Amino acid sequence: MFVIFIALDDNKIMDFEEKKYWVAFNVFDGIGPLRFKLLLNYFGTAEKAFNAAEEKLMEVGLGEGLVKRFIEFRKTFDFDGYFQKLEKLGIGVLCVDEEGYPKLLKEVQSYPPVLYVKVRDMGPASTAKRGEVLGRKAVAVVGTRKVTGYGRQVTEMIVEGLVASGLVVVSGLARGVDEIAHKTTINNKGLTIAVLGCGLDLIYPPEHKDLAEKVVESGGAVVSEFPMGMAAVPGNFPARNRIISGLSLGVVVTEAAEDSGSLITASCAAEQGRDVFAVPGPITSPLSRGTSELIKKGAKLVSGVEDILDELGIKEVGKMRDLRDVEGLGDEEKKIVDLLENENLHIDVIARKIEIDSGQAGGILSLLEIKGIIRNFGEGIYGLR
């Protein structure tokens, strides 16, 4: 039996006998990152800690109840069965002592000792490239699950600019802003990392299983610190959020209510010494209150992707094309582009302003959308890309 590992340097892959005990501790519910570090410091290796006598485990400071549960767990844990399932699902295991572990994440005080990672081309020949996407410069884009048309527009705009500048986009595969961030990255031929709050065999939300597969197929990665079989319980998401920010140079919140979970990610970023960015929104929208509060607390206000790139000291590689210079547009098409230059409009308003019927306006708008000049934001609202 063998298992797929992830490392940038074949010579730095952890010995399997030691690595399997790191994974076993990860599977056991009750010994998190801090306790695991304590055990490593005391016993020297995960194998010695795993096989330690009950009284020795008590000496480390683990409670009696926890030690008794652990003793029962180690009697029954099926090493071979667990790793065979990992291999079948194409899931790699990356430990903090390995070369491929993300350097930025390792700087986080509560870094996860074990990461489960799924990337494209998991065969033996691609060993040197498996961890590559995790080591690239990245920016996290997060926000509300109940995204508005405005939130969709600014999220797409920010993500397109990040991708054009060669940055990896990190998010949490959740509904709303996360979903838009991943899809926009993929649609613009970029790389994205999805960090889950559950095991990689239990994609959550379930309707995003196809999206997770597309993240991998496009060259990105799906990542979790949680073992297989771990469901997406509420308590997992704050822990997941520290990994999102930990993988990133900065976190951008594009739209969020006052109680949005994305604000936890922003808080993690601030604690980790990462930049926090927030996009201002309409003061009448409850989904702008979270970003407004972040800005009040010192988050950097974002009016365009240039604000993010300047703050991070990253040169803008790609440039958005000037929509006014697009050749081959008809008279009505040009009029519509001019109308949408400063605001998004409903199809009926567009038709009335350029004096054509709604059916004709719909046809022209569809052509402009196909050409990549405008976007349909739903409910008949259109705006420029």
Nearest to 116 by CA among 185, 198, 35, 34: 198
Q: What CATH number belongs to 10-132?
A: 3.40.50.450
Question: Burial letters for 119-137: b for 16+ Cβ neighbours within 10 Å, e otherwise?
Answer: bbebeeeebeebbbbbbee
Q: In what order do the strands lie in the sheet with 374-378?
A: 345-346, 381-384, 374-378
Nearest to 163 by CA among 107, 246, 219: 219
Domain ranges of the chain: 10-132, 136-312, 323-384
Q: Evaluate whether 10-132 and 136-312 have a shared fold.
A: yes
Compute the distance between CA of residue 294 and CA of residue 335 in angstroms, rounded to an integer. 38
**Cβ atoms < 10 Å from Cβ of 292:** 18
Q: What is the pLDDT of residue 218?
A: 93
The separation between CA 231 and the C-alpha centre of its own chain, rounded to angstroms, equals: 18
Q: Which amino acid is at 371?
A: K
Alpha helices in 116-207 (DSSP H): 149-164, 177-187
DSSP string, 215-245: HHHTT-EEEESSPTT----TTHHHHHHHHHH
Considering the entire predicted model, what is its pTM?
A: 0.80
The fold of the 323-384 domain, in CATH, is: Arc Repressor Mutant, subunit A (1.10.10)
Q: What is the pLDDT of residue 339?
A: 85
Compute the distance between CA of residue 276 and CA of residue 142 in angstroms, rounded to an integer. 11
Compute the distance between CA of residue 58 and CA of residue 54 in angstroms, rounded to an integer. 6
> Cis peptide before 102, with omega less than 30 degrees from 0?
no
Residue 162 in tokens: 């990040």
Compute the distance between CA of residue 96 and CA of residue 112 in angstroms, rounded to an integer. 8
Whether the CA torsion 320, 322, 327, 330 is positive or negative: it is positive
Q: Are 199 and 226 in contact (CB under 8 A)?
A: yes
Compute the distance between CA of residue 166 and CA of residue 160 in angstroms, rounded to an integer. 10
> Is 251 in a helix, a strand, or coil?
strand
Q: What CATH architecture is 136-312?
A: 3-Layer(aba) Sandwich (3.40)
DSSP assigned state of 13 = P
Compute the distance between CA of residue 69 and CA of residue 46 in angstroms, rounded to an integer. 17
pLDDT tens over the chain, length 385 residues: 333 333 333 335 568 889 999 999 999 998 988 899 999 999 999 999 999 999 999 988 889 999 999 999 999 999 999 999 999 999 999 999 887 899 999 999 889 999 999 998 654 333 334 568 998 999 999 999 999 999 999 999 999 999 999 999 999 999 999 999 999 999 999 999 999 999 999 999 999 999 999 999 999 999 999 999 999 999 899 999 999 999 999 999 999 988 888 899 999 999 999 999 999 998 889 998 999 999 999 999 999 999 999 999 987 655 444 444 455 678 888 888 888 877 788 989 988 888 888 888 888 888 888 777 888 877 888 887 7
